[in-house]
Structure 1
């Protein structure tokens, strides 16, 4: 008999011996619980790295968050990894990582008109200075609507 939880949040599920394995007795998986959200902050490769990562990169929840692509946390050196202050941050769901990296990453269309969470991958970036937020700005410049431009143009 398995315990089915309503909501479970995973922080850096382990990669060694678990990634790409389906073991319902030990895995954090969306097959076992009603809602699983996972935050991947240590998904660097375990091999061929000076500082290895031990968290898995494989998506395993209903919502998977990858701050800074899940690999490098700016401002958190190896000695600071245990003491980094955390705070809430808005993430968006791109259609692809290349779209997220493009200059249009501030305008990502929604698949739903509701306020409910959409399942999938979420990507966000953080800065190297405390509180690690980066500012995102969106400017919309509306010169004039064509009808108004004609009205104003008659005065010249």
Structure 2
């Protein structure tokens, strides 16, 4: 069975002063890191940003608002379009504010990606080798 899921979506980046512009979002899921989804945003062959997202948070964001830290998500509907609004807060700017990016993804495409990840590792069946990780950390400290 394949332990990796990848999907490329065209999403809309809300650009200050110009409205929305299309960018690619490469979503990845690896059963070896079962709680995380990687999201790489790219445009014209350049990587704009890379984020690691909590898989359950991504699923919850399709149903209602989630997140209080650097990543926030919520469903948003505009007529027949059902989107997932993702807000990413970055580093502090010189004026004291924070860099901010807002991305809109087509919610059914995100749901289809999550469904594929659930075929690889069902929710509640995630396992992370904590004992092995702790042993590795402790042996390096000696």
TM-score by length of 2: 0.25
Greater strand fraction, Structure 1 or Structure 2: 2
Q: Which has the larger radius of gyration?
A: 1
**Normalised TM-score (structure 1):** 0.23
* Structure with the larger helix share: 2
